[in-house]
Amino acid sequence: MKEKFKGLWPAMFTPVHDNGEPALDEVGKLTELLISQKLDGLYILGSTGQGVLFTEAERRKVTEVVCDIAKKRVPVIVQVGALTTDESVRLARHAEKCGADGISSVGPIYFSGSADMALQHYSSIARATELPFFPYQLGNNSIPGDTISFVRKLMEIPHVTGMKLTTNNLLEISAIHNYAGDKLKLFSGSDELVCHASLCGTVGAIGTMYNLWGEACKHILTEFTNGDYEQTKQFMLSFQTVIQQILPNLWTFLRQAMLLKYKIDIGQAKAPLGNTNQPWNDKDVLALIEKIDVFNESVVKS
């Protein structure tokens, strides 16, 4: 069987209406778009998808829509982390019923000071289904104490298949890979290090920017693993420059960019996310899109 957990996966937006409820028609349009771009999988209801800010019923509906469209076309990992372990368990079981290929979870939200608490939380979620489980490490907030000690205990939990590592600490990624080897499939969660992390043992990447520039990023990651250093260097420097420019007003940029590029409205971020973001004018957004699209045209067609 072909390995499904690898390659480039968008951390998919969850488009919303003005009242903050999921815009399911737009969710469907975005799902179809990303599948049409031949990306390797979809990671839904994570931080980019604002998952923990939706009700349990809303998260269930989004999972149903995405899994129904993606079925047998592209694998789906559902982020089921919630304020309580019980809700996470229910969401995990629902994801399994919907035909998801895997589940993921952030650590115990607001209660991340104890390694034992995090491990028990993960264990309850992992044991609730037969699905591959990918704990979501976010910087230093999700692995309390010694990293390798934590990962060793994590690997004792049934169904733990890999991790989503949203960190800029490449040495930490290497340490986890060097300890776990092929027993854990590691995904980089830092878009700006998509190629760098592959040198540290990741099998792929899950990120926000792949909603907008998935084709270009998948191409460049493939070219990098095939040995094209110069092309990768040129792309990554451009990509990192654009990311630096948009970060201060990320959510407003992404909404306008998705509208202008794909005619998909992801809506306004659910406060407090993005509540300090300033609006962009279309000219500036198009200029930044073009910085990557010009490069994309030259590499994807090469």
What one-character-per-residue DSSP string does 139-157 give? TTSSS-S-HHHHHHHHTTS
Instruction: Write down the pLDDT at residue 3.
Output: 87
CA pair distance 189, 11, nearest whole angstrom: 9
Residues facing 22 on adjacent strands: 16
Phi-psi region of 172 (alpha: psi -120 to 50; beta: other; left: phi over 0): alpha
Residues facing 76 on adjacent strands: 42
Complete domains list, the chain, with CATH: 7-226 (3.20.20.70)
What contacts 123, CB < 8 A, 6 or more positions away? 157
Instruction: Write down the pLDDT at residue 1.
Output: 39
Q: What is the DSSP letter of 16?
A: B
Instruction: Write down the pLDDT at residue 175.
Output: 94
Q: 285: exposed, middle or buried (C-beta count within 10 Å: 0-12, 13-18, 19+)? A: buried
The first and second tokens of residue 243, run together, are: 């990311």
CA pair distance 26, 202, nearest whole angstrom: 31
Do residues 17 and 10 lie in contact, with contact meaning Cβ atoms separated by under 8 Å? no
pLDDT 10s digit of each residue in the chain, 302 long? Answer: 368 999 999 999 999 999 999 999 999 999 999 999 999 999 999 989 999 999 999 999 999 999 999 998 999 999 999 999 999 999 999 999 999 999 999 888 766 567 888 899 999 999 999 999 999 876 555 565 688 999 999 999 999 999 999 999 999 999 999 999 999 999 999 999 999 999 999 999 999 999 999 999 999 999 999 999 999 999 999 999 999 999 999 999 999 999 999 999 999 999 998 999 999 999 999 999 999 988 765 544 44
* Residue in 34, 94, 31 with CA at minimum distance from that of residue 58: 94
Q: Residue 118 corresponds to which amino acid?
A: A
Do residues 71 and 34 lie in contact, with contact meaning Cβ atoms separated by under 8 Å? no
Q: Token pair 């028609």 is at which residue?
A: 25
CA pair distance 130, 183, nearest whole angstrom: 17
What contacts 196, CB < 8 A, 6 or more positions away? 170, 236
Instruction: Write down the pLDDT at residue 147.
Output: 87
